[in-house]
Structure 1
Amino acid sequence: MTGVWVLIGTLAVASLLGLAWRRSQGRVRQGKTVMLPPELHKLVDPGSRVTLLQISTTFCAPCRHTRILLSDMAEKVDGLRHVDFDVTNHPEVASSLGVLTTPTTLAVDAKGTELMRVGGVPKRDRLLDALRPHLG
């Protein structure tokens, strides 16, 4: 009988953790106050109000979906630019930014100051709503 309770408890904990992880994916969070590494700072477009810096890895399937979504947004929204940076061979860049999963998207202003970040595939409407005040 104890084994059944252990199994039920394990399934309950795993379900709660799965739901918490799923809820956090695509959520827009306030930016952290970290300095961009030189590799990323040179990718920031000083002529754009916001640059979306996508942190990716080579074999990340959600990264491809995110790349398509963000590129499309950048084409359609004035003052928005998208760049993708692959950290497969640059893990120190990811760790210096506190990026633990890919894709992670950093929205930075023209000076390279982080405005917000999204872990996982962003939800288009939520991201656009969060970016509107920064796009003018």
Structure 2
Amino acid sequence: MTGLWVVLGTLVVAGIAGALLQARNGRVRAARRAPAAELPAPVAAALDTRARVTLVQISTTFCTPCRHTRALLGPLAERTDGLTHVDLDVTNQPEVAQALGVLRTPTTIAYGADGTELLRVGGVPKAPALLEALAPHLPARVAE
């Protein structure tokens, strides 16, 4: 009988943990880094100073959600004025992810033209929520 309670308790804890992780996936969060923080060289090189916002997607080689994120953000950036998307593979550069405080892939970080972190999304972003959060940083007319 004790074994049954252990199994049930484990299932309940696993269910709660799964629900929490699912709720956090794709949620837009406020920026973590102070504006004066120095960016790692690969990230600084990837920023497009002509765009108002550059979405830097932190990915790894064998990450399936990273491919979904790339397929979502690429076309979104193409049809949205002032928005650029860059996919940065950190498989062989874990120090970049560490310097940015990235614990999972994909993580998308939005940077302003001056390198200021605007927001970040862990997991596959939800396009409408992302555009809504970026609206104050983009030109008034946003294509959806």
- TM band (smaller chain): over 0.9
**1:3-14 matches, cutoff 5 A:** 3-14=3-14
Q: What secondary structure does 1:121 align onto?
A: coil
TM-score w.r.t. length of structure 2: 0.92
1:28 and 2:28 correspond: yes
Structure 2 counterpart of 1:89: 92
Deviations 1:39-69 (A, max 9, x none): 1111111110000000000111111110111
**Residues 1:118 and 2:121 are matched in the alignment:** yes
Structure 1 residue 101, shift from structure 2 partner: 0.6
How many residue pairs end up in the alignment? Answer: 136
Give the equivalent residue in structure 2 for 1:18.
18
Counterpart of 1:73, as a letter, is L
Tell me the distance in 1 between the aligned counterparts of 2:75 and 2:42.
24
Matching of residue 44 in structure 1 with residue 47 in structure 2: yes
* Percent of aligned positions that are identical: 60
Q: Secondary structure at the match of 2:66?
A: helix
Rounded Cα–Cα distance in structure 1 between residues aligned with 2:104 and 2:31? 16
Structure 1 residue runs of 4+, over 3 Å off?
none
TM-score by length of structure 1 reads: 0.97
Cα drift, residue 35 of structure 1: 3.0
Q: Distance in 2 between matches of 1:119 and 1:17?
A: 16
**Structure 2: which amino acid aligns with 1:32?**
R
Q: Structure 1, residues 81-125: CA drift from partner, whole Å, max 9, x if none?
A: 000100000000001111011000000000111000000000011
2: distance between equivalents of 1:66 and 1:44? Answer: 18
